[in-house]
Amino acid sequence: MGIKGLTKLLAANAPNSMKETTFESYSGREIAVDASTSIYQFLIVVGRNGTQMLTNDAGQVTSHLQGLFSRTIRLLEAGMKPVYVFDGKPPDLKKQELAKRHSKRMDASEYLAAAIESGVKEDIEKYSKRTVKVTRQHNEDCKKLLRLMGVPVVEASSEAEAECATLCKTGKVYAVASEDMDTLTFGAPIFVRHLMGSSRKFPVVQYEVAKILKELNLTMDQFIDLCILCGCDYCDGIRGIGGQTALKLVRQHGSIENIVEKISKVRYRIPENWPFQEARCIFKDPVVSVSDQNHVFEWITPDEEVLKNFLVNENGFNHDRVTKAIGKIKAANYRSSNRRLHSLKPWLRTSVPLKSKETKCQLGVPSAFLNPKMFSLQVYMHLRPKLLWPSVDELVRPVNLFLGVCKELALFSSYIHVSSSWSIFFLLFPFQALLLLYLMGLQAFFDMDAIGRLNKTKYECLLFDMDDTLYPMSTGINYACRKNIEEYMLQFLEIDASEVPRMCLELYKEYGTTMAGLKALGYGFDNDEFHAFVHGRLPYERLKPDPVLRNLLLSMPQRKIIFTNADKAHADQVLSRLGLDDCFEGIICFETLNPPFEPNSYEDEVYKCLSSEEPDYNLLFSDSERKADAIYDENDDSLLPKSQILCKPSLESMEAAIQIANVDPKKTIFFDDSVRNIASGKAAGLHTVIVGSSELVPGADLALTSIHNIKEALPEIWEEEEDQFEQVVQSTAVETVDVLA
């Protein structure tokens, strides 16, 4: 039911918080839409004639598909980028409200039956609408349709409105379009009503939460209390108190607790066991899906064939109509991908900071004073001898070799889940296991001998992203990091608070990291200073040592290298907290790809791949010269300033990493949690594994919910030990032969 009477209350008490806009003005904007309410409306109204609805051959209702299909196309054609958010589990507090609705529907069903009996058309019409219920199947149909159309779908973990609001707060969408006033209570910064009202019965209205608070002169907490008092889905208000009185009381007393204490108990009866605090919690800290802070929504081209099959063959849509509609989606996609670059322009013109420069160098150590040695390659690439086995040299005789294997296996079985049949086998029948391994070894030796010197090694190197890959997203490090970046932009770059989240994300999207984007826009801050601020006060204590992962890593025979966009200090801190310091041969980090100065001191091959970009001379130049870097051609619409920073997901960064690590991409597996990094990793020729996702994404060869599942999902990594083993055996044999010869 949303918040009772909030529209009126705001119209009367905060008229300036709402402004009339137009449908067209949201062109180019990402808009979150609550899917359930839309589907509900479609089911009620699309193609309804009494109890008749639009159906497919199988007699299943298709009204929701019809409605959603045309509405979404309408949005796309207007240049908007819709994100549909589906409901998750409703909070427990909402149960009673839902039960009420359920019983109402049951009543309506009875009335409907009676109406059909008596044959009164209007009653049939009326009551059949009231029995409408959005089922799981409807939801699934719609998700499928949207995905085929290339439109992003979000599954909220609880209330869709809460999820929408969070998407908006974090800048992933520009606004939430809904009719539900709850959206404001959940704190969606920009909330649009009647956006879909093609009837023009109501104009499109935009609410801004910040303006509401300002005009009502309330804090967000107080506003939430106000909404609870007005009456929300989660608990009753106080009888006799509506919007007006609630506003007065909140202004006067500040919080529900105080109001309860002060108001007349004679006149107002406070409900017993009134769960207003729980309701407050739902609004204030709603359960939302823990999504990747850096995840970027994409509106991709529709899957034409499958979409046609779904609509035409399965649901009886008119073929020509669908074909025409798909054409519209494609055209809209094409236009908006061209338009995307425009969205950064406003910041280019207005945001190049002038004042912030003076204070710039006081926070961090100017890089010029840092010891150049610190940036030599060795620091970032702790090159160690390639460690394949314990004491490889000693493995002259098979027995020694098997002792090594035993060690590894013993290590495995101590922590790997029981599912590893090898480990069990080894534990139960150590002697037999040894014998079997011995035989396998001999077999491998002879196989190898037959094949000759052909190198069978499948993987030589494993390239790991660090944050959100080696430890889960839920630690909140990523979130804290983002907050710090926003804080930095606010404090030191003097960017307007209202622009920060959105700008942050846009730059991230366009340049790979927000920092790279800021640099490209001409902000001349110091890299180290930025990193120090952003990574300085992260809640590292939340990272706990991960011995399981450590053992997994140590048991992998391949080279293992970290590839992160973060700086060295952060990488060191994280790895040390996780207890993984010594698991990696090297770290490719921000400084590796963006040497502070003296790019010449780099190895030739590294420099070669960097030289296609302008080296970052930025730090050596004066402010005015730096500003000149941001100059772009006003007349060329497609040109944005190039980033001077090399980072994922650019293909150049991938190739640079491959060169620095000196690996063959075909024999390297790249682990990352970001879809676009995976895509560009694939483009660079790497094997790719998306971590933290249960579904495959474009460009990924494999999906891992957690890095801990690596052994189950990629047994090849360990199986390769046998390959390595063959190699060792063989090379040993060859050497022996040489010696003998």
Partner DNA sequence: ACTCTCACTGTAGACGCG
Partner DNA sequence: ACGCGTCC
Partner DNA sequence: ACGTACAGTGAGAG
Q: How far apart are the first and last CA of the chain?
A: 90
Figure out which of the listed residues 16, 135, 289, 391 binds DNA, where binding follows CB under 7 A.
135
Local structure of residue 33 (DSSP, 8 states): E
| 223 lies in the site for DNA, by CB under 7 A | no
Whole-number minimum distance, CB 731 to DNA, in Å?
Answer: 58
Tokens read off for 641: 């300033």
Of the ranges 3-11, 349-357, 667-675, 710-718, which one interacts with DNA (CB under 7 A)?
3-11
Alpha helices in 254-318 (DSSP H): 256-262, 276-284, 304-308
| 141 lies in the site for DNA, by CB under 7 A | no
Using CB under 7 A as the binding rule, the residues of this chain from 258 to 287 that contact DNA are 267
Pairing mode of beta strands 30-34, 175-177? parallel
Of the ranges 287-295, 315-323, 498-506, 726-734, which one interacts with DNA (CB under 7 A)?
315-323
CA–CA distance, 31 with 177 (Å, rounded to integer): 6
H/E stretch holding 176? strand 175-177
Nearest residue (CB) to DNA, 128 versus 475: 128
Whole-number minimum distance, CB 96 to DNA, in Å?
Answer: 10
Whole-number minimum distance, CB 242 to DNA, in Å?
Answer: 2
Nearest residue (CB) to DNA, 57 versus 738: 57
Of the ranges 134-142, 289-297, 377-385, 425-433, which one interacts with DNA (CB under 7 A)?
134-142
Alpha helices in 390-429 (DSSP H): 398-415, 421-428
CA angle 250, 251, 253 (to 5 degrees): 60
In single-letter form, the type of residue at position 580 comes to L
Using CB under 7 A as the binding rule, the residues of this chain from 320 to 339 that contact DNA are 321
Binding-site size for DNA (CB under 7 A) equals 71
Figure out which of the listed residues 19, 102, 121, 386 binds DNA, where binding follows CB under 7 A.
102
Burial class (CB in 10 A: 0-12, 13-18, 19+), 292: middle
Residues paired with 190 in a beta bridge: 208
Nearest residue (CB) to DNA, 317 versus 389: 317
Whole-number minimum distance, CB 228 to DNA, in Å?
Answer: 13
| 41 lies in the site for DNA, by CB under 7 A | yes
Distances (CA, A) of 693 to 292, 462, 594, 702: 10, 19, 30, 10
Please write down the long-range contacts of 208-216, taking CB distance under 8 Å and 24 or more positions apart: 208/17, 209/184, 210/498, 211/14, 211/16, 211/17, 212/10, 212/14, 212/17, 212/184, 214/17, 215/13, 215/14, 215/15, 215/16, 215/17, 216/13, 216/14, 216/17, 216/247, 216/251
CA–CA distance, 75 with 79 (Å, rounded to integer): 7
Of the ranges 125-133, 358-366, 461-469, 715-723, which one interacts with DNA (CB under 7 A)?
125-133
Q: Do 16 and 23 meet the contact criterion of CB atoms below 8 Å apart?
A: no
| 231 lies in the site for DNA, by CB under 7 A | yes
Nearest residue (CB) to DNA, 5 versus 476: 5
Figure out which of the listed residues 21, 27, 28, 40 binds DNA, where binding follows CB under 7 A.
40
| 151 lies in the site for DNA, by CB under 7 A | no
How much is the CA Rg of the chain, to the nearest whole Å?
31
Whole-number minimum distance, CB 220 to DNA, in Å?
Answer: 18
Whole-number minimum distance, CB 720 to DNA, in Å?
Answer: 42
Please write down the long-range contacts of 239-244, taking CB distance under 8 Å and 24 or more positions apart: 239/268, 239/269, 240/267, 240/268, 241/268, 242/4, 242/5, 243/4, 243/5, 243/6, 243/8, 243/9, 244/9, 244/12
Whole-number minimum distance, CB 12 to DNA, in Å?
Answer: 8
Figure out which of the listed residues 150, 187, 189, 243 binds DNA, where binding follows CB under 7 A.
243
Cis peptide before 599 (omega within 30 of 0): no
Using CB under 7 A as the binding rule, the residues of this chain from 534 to 563 that contact DNA are none
Nearest residue (CB) to DNA, 223 versus 426: 223
| 67 lies in the site for DNA, by CB under 7 A | yes
Figure out which of the listed residues 3, 332, 500, 583 binds DNA, where binding follows CB under 7 A.
3
| 241 lies in the site for DNA, by CB under 7 A | yes
Whole-number minimum distance, CB 157 to DNA, in Å?
Answer: 10
Figure out which of the listed residues 80, 192, 235, 246 binds DNA, where binding follows CB under 7 A.
246
Question: Within its chain, how far is the Cα of 207 from the centroid?
Answer: 26
Using CB under 7 A as the binding rule, the residues of this chain from 178 to 207 that contact DNA are 179-182, 196-199
Nearest residue (CB) to DNA, 186 versus 530: 186
Nearest residue (CB) to DNA, 100 versus 542: 100
Question: Within its chain, how far is the Cα of 449 from the centroid?
Answer: 49
Figure out which of the listed residues 21, 27, 244, 376 binds DNA, where binding follows CB under 7 A.
244
Using CB under 7 A as the binding rule, the residues of this chain from 154 to 183 that contact DNA are 161, 179-182
Using CB under 7 A as the binding rule, the residues of this chain from 82 to 101 that contact DNA are 87-90, 98, 101
| 1 lies in the site for DNA, by CB under 7 A | yes
| 239 lies in the site for DNA, by CB under 7 A | yes
| 240 lies in the site for DNA, by CB under 7 A | yes
| 2 lies in the site for DNA, by CB under 7 A | yes
Whole-number minimum distance, CB 199 to DNA, in Å?
Answer: 6
Sign of CA dihedral 701, 707, 709, 710: positive
Distances (CA, A) of 639 to 7, 342, 568, 632, 644: 44, 9, 32, 7, 15
Give the closest residue to 434 by CA, choosing from 411, 413, 406, 414. 406
| 74 lies in the site for DNA, by CB under 7 A | yes
Of the ranges 62-70, 658-666, 674-682, 729-737, which one interacts with DNA (CB under 7 A)?
62-70
For 256-291, letters b (16+ CB in 10 Å) and e give beebbeebeeeeeeeeeebbbeebbbbbeebbbeee
Nearest residue (CB) to DNA, 37 versus 551: 37
Q: Which residue has the tokens 């730090």?
A: 619
H/E stretch holding 249? helix 243-253
Nearest residue (CB) to DNA, 87 versus 591: 87
In single-letter form, the type of residue at position 40 comes to Y
| 242 lies in the site for DNA, by CB under 7 A | yes
Of the ranges 71-79, 425-433, 448-456, 724-732, which one interacts with DNA (CB under 7 A)?
71-79
Nearest residue (CB) to DNA, 98 versus 396: 98
Three-state secondary structure call for residue 24: helix
